[in-house]
Amino acid sequence: MKQEYKENLRRFQSVFGLLFFIIVISLLSDRFLTGSNIFNVLRQTSVNAIIAAGMTFVILTGGIDLSVGSTFAFSGAIGAYLIGSGQPFMVAVVGALTIGLLIGMANGFIIAHWHLQPFIVTLATMTIFRGATLVFTDGKPIGTGFEGSAALFAKIGGGYTFGIPNPILIMIVLFGLAYYILKHMSMGRYIYATGGNQEATKLSGVSIKKVKVFAYGISGLFAAISGMIITSRLSSAQPTAGTGYELDAIAAVVLGGTSLAGGVGSILGTVIGALIIGILNNALNLLDVSSYYQQLAKGLVILIAVLLDRKEK
């Protein structure tokens, strides 16, 4: 009982941290807590948050996925190409998301089947799919055009439903889904168990391969969804889109208290982690801090947050 209470307290600590952070920023800038800016922050956050949600699955198994930025770009390019060449909306979206899912599943399969280091495998696929994107786009942006299904496609990132920007809704739905899988489904248990003790999990009759293909598959899928949002918003896919996004996603997961060693952590933590990074970016923009200093500040905040969250003995 008390232990749970303590764990909840820790979770609240990061929520309080987040609130404190919000109050300070709103004192520094009166543009921060305005309705349009809140939507703005959440919309900007959604791109990283969705990737981070997928990344949470992978990190919980004790792995890491460096390929998400490239998956993001590659599936974005495929989506833009399909829309631009006049394919129906569903064909383009499902096609692009399937590509993301398959890249992720391939990562998981290679890692589990040949017992390889996730870092190395996804470093390789990250490079491969960045290259594939450059080859496919010939290094130039691919526009979706404005004809036919492009109008509908533009709504993914730019439209509203019930007055709320679609990317925010997509983010909420995906976090709900991730929460449900991790908390209420057997696969969720297996993911935590694999990260906690892979050998014991295998000896319990759990297929580690299935678990990893699933976790990396989700990571790839979520990266592709995020890629759709940006491609839709810009009505084009940039060949260098998503460069470095894997690091922001990993930062959000770790800020949310998930252990890089696997087995311990939560999707709710990742929500908070992504919000902290998103709000920080927004605040630095509002305060007119130059982008060079932004990097510096972001790194420092991550370091401080992780130090504060250090587990007491």
- Residues lying near other proteins in the complex (CB under 8 A) are found at 1-4, 6, 184-187, 189-190, 192-193, 195-197, 199-207, 263-264
Q: What are phi and psi of 67, to 5 degrees?
A: -85, 0
How far apart CA 62 and CA 212 sit, in angstroms, is 10
| Shortest Cβ 1–other proteins spacing (Å) | 6
| Shortest Cβ 180–other proteins spacing (Å) | 8
| Shortest Cβ 113–other proteins spacing (Å) | 14
Scan for tokens 């952590």, then name that residue.
265
Q: Which is nearer to other proteins, 159 or 196 (CB)?
A: 196
Q: Which is nearer to other proteins, 205 or 244 (CB)?
A: 205
How far apart CA 247 and CA 244 sit, in angstroms, is 6
| Shortest Cβ 115–other proteins spacing (Å) | 15
Q: Which is nearer to other proteins, 4 or 288 (CB)?
A: 4
Q: Which is nearer to other proteins, 203 or 307 (CB)?
A: 203
| Shortest Cβ 272–other proteins spacing (Å) | 21
Residue 52 contacts residue 58 (beta carbons within 8 Å): no
Q: Which is nearer to other proteins, 11 or 202 (CB)?
A: 202
| Shortest Cβ 194–other proteins spacing (Å) | 9
Distances (CA, A) of 187 to 56, 156, 179, 218, 233: 14, 29, 12, 12, 33
Neighbours of 223 (CB within 10 A): 33
Q: Which is nearer to other proteins, 75 or 194 (CB)?
A: 194
Residue 277 contacts residue 48 (beta carbons within 8 Å): yes
Distance from chain centroid for Cα 11: 20
Tokens of 171: 């983010």
